[in-house]
Amino acid sequence: MKRLLLSIFILQFTFSIFGQEPQFSVEKMWSLTRLSGSIVSPNEKHIFYQETNYDYTKNTGTTTPFLMDIPSQKRSSIAIEGAWNVVWNSNNELVYLIAEENHTVMKSYNPTTKTSTTLHDFEETEIEGFVLSSDGKRFATLESIKLRPIVVDKYPDLPLAKARIEESLMYRHWNAWTGEKGLHLFWYEKTATNFVKKGDVMKGEPFPSVTGPFGGIESVCFSADGNTIYYSTKKKSGKEFAVSTNSEIYAFRTQDNITTTLTSAHKGYDTNPLINSTGKTLAWLSMEKDGFEADKNRIRIMDLASRQEKDLTANLDLSVDQFVWHPSQEIIYFIAAIKGTKQLFSVDVKTSKITQLTADRCDYVNLSATKHQVILERQSMIDPTDLWIFTPKTGLLEQVTKVNNDKLAKIAAPTVKEKWITTTDGMKMLVWMVLPPNFDPSKKYPTLLYCQGGPQSPVSQYFSYRWNFRLMASQGYIIVAPNRRGLPGFGQEWNDAISKDWGGQAMEDYLVAIDSCVAQEPAIDKDKLGAVGASYGGYSVYYLAGIHNNRFKAFVSHCGLFNLESWYGTTEELFFANSDIGGPYWLPENKALYAKNSPHHMVDKWNTPMLVIHGGKDFRVPETEGMQAYQALQLKGIPSKFLYFPDEGHWITKPQNGILWYREYFEWLGTYLK
């Protein structure tokens, strides 16, 4: 007993001396506060944002809204809990949606008087979101309406029949089956006493008014005078919808209900229209190629009087994530991935001159602009999201929230290193290495090769709650995360190189990355290497399992593509499969591509323990892909485990599922690498 008390005292004394606990756990990760949704008021006095906290014991989360006074940086919570789609109006009030007694209400909140006012009661209407006109006299909503018949409509005498009848594509998308309802865009106008619904912008059209599942109210905006509604969607159905990314920007005139197509010259995605305050110029994000969702995302502007266009980022070999107008209307600020980070840029609207404004080792993930500052949400592999303010005139960056400081203050942090290595074809590739907290270079550490999904998604400085590098390094692993072929941020040629070559140079990039790090970092234990990843990263794990020549001692594949033929026959967005894989497997010209790139052809070479994880609602990479891989492992007698989440899709979203995911993940890796 004395020895135990002495050990506890020494441990506590050590913590008090160094002020840090040794380990960041999955439970601590789920206890972190998640900041999001920052927007600045028109008078530039306040920032609205939200903090979400999860209680994994109850499997729920709560979101608290905050206002920050910009000059003093003082913040306080506000009494609009449960609100969503929060925006500022021209009177510097917050307008939002909230559920009251099983129906949705639109309200406004005055920060000065701290009072709320009901603007409109939608009663039984299902509201997804709304956007205001600048004068407050109109608003537009995304509302759920019936777009297609279901079984009971055809057979009313069979109300208990549990069946679906499908006659076209896409009958399911990401994590949901296509139902009878879809979102249509409605507009409302203010009268002397209330708002009145005036009409359906796409009345009689069988298409949703935004392209789901990720397109929402950000695809809609009003003209400066409120008389025109601009929106983005893909007015296609069936097979045509499944194989195309050709969405358009439309202009709907409220005076005469006439709709005009503005972007028919462009064949890829046209999204996120945003009018400037003069009402003369429309900006939006645009891709050139139909069917290629990872094409360069450009900022285009259009003079609405002359319909003349300009590509503001034509000379930038990077893809834009998001953008905002500066109040002067002379500058647009935007975020783009560059060299394994996401940075802030500006572009001069008249000259198209582009300036990179930040160069930190971080990701900026949201922005809004005032006359003299840019409000940013910032995160890194080590730090969760906080608010920062950038002043372009001085270049000053200032952190204005530290929402997790108390939770992380005593927890030792890993170290992130940047390495550039030479690939097998003579190119330079960025590799992030994450070293465990209190790293000791004289020790040997098990090491994980992280394989990114996408495949065209950057290995940037994100703070992920599934692939959390801080958490993995805190369990004693070195992480090797290559920006292999096919990732944005290194020019479009590097990004495009993976299409139709999934099992080619990208796999060489992975192997040279781990080999180079092993050779150059003595602390890596070359006998305790693992490879992990999800989606294309899960595919990569399956592929590496057949070519790694015994480098790795353990694999983890989450929602990976195993058999490209069966995957092509069951996935939903076929434009992705066509552009990245090459198209249907039954075409003679594609047989060599499938033979080379499908991991299931290499199962005869598999010999390494593998954990396979999949979600039952994953329709991008259906669950049978994981089941096939697991069955092959079992039949070959290779140590393996199948972790299945029936109520999760392509991601893990529920707190207890997320914690279970990591417990099984670390148990598996610990069994074979420690």
618 is catalytic: yes
**pLDDT score, position 22:** 56
Distance (Å, whole) CA 222 – CA 207: 21
**pLDDT score, position 213:** 82
Q: Which of 360, 357, 379, 359 is nearest to 369 (CA)?
A: 357
Tokens of 624: 């049978």
Q: Which residues pair with 386 in a beta bridge?
A: 378
Could you give the C-alpha distances from 441 to 430, 512, 520, 521, in angstroms and in order? Answer: 22, 22, 12, 9
- To the question of pTM greater than 0.75 for the whole model, the response is yes
CA end-to-end distance (rounded Å), the chain:
30
Catalytic-role residue among 326, 548, 558, 650: 650
Query: Residue 458 carries which side chain, given as an amino acid letter?
Result: P
Kindly give, in sequence order, each residue whose CB lies less than 8 Å from that of residue 463, ignoring residues fewer than 6 positions away.
363, 379, 380, 381, 382, 383, 384, 385, 470
Residue showing tokens 């069988």 = 206
168 is catalytic: no
CA torsion through residues 168, 170, 176, 182, sign: negative
Length of the chain: 674
User: Domains of the chain (ranges plus CATH)?
Assistant: 412-673 (3.40.50.1820)
Burial state string for 65-96 with b = 16 or more CB within 10 A and e = fewer than 16: bbbbebeeeebeebebeebbbbbbbeeebbbb
Distance (Å, whole) CA 78 – CA 66: 6
**pLDDT score, position 123:** 87
Q: Can you list the residues of the chain whose pLDDT is less than 70? A: 1-22
Q: Which of 402, 409, 383 is nearest to 471 (CA)?
A: 383
**pLDDT score, position 20:** 56
Catalytic-role residue among 116, 460, 535, 540: 535
**pLDDT score, position 16:** 37
**pLDDT score, position 11:** 38
Catalytic-role residue among 380, 540, 618, 640: 618
Helix/strand/coil for 581: coil
535 is catalytic: yes
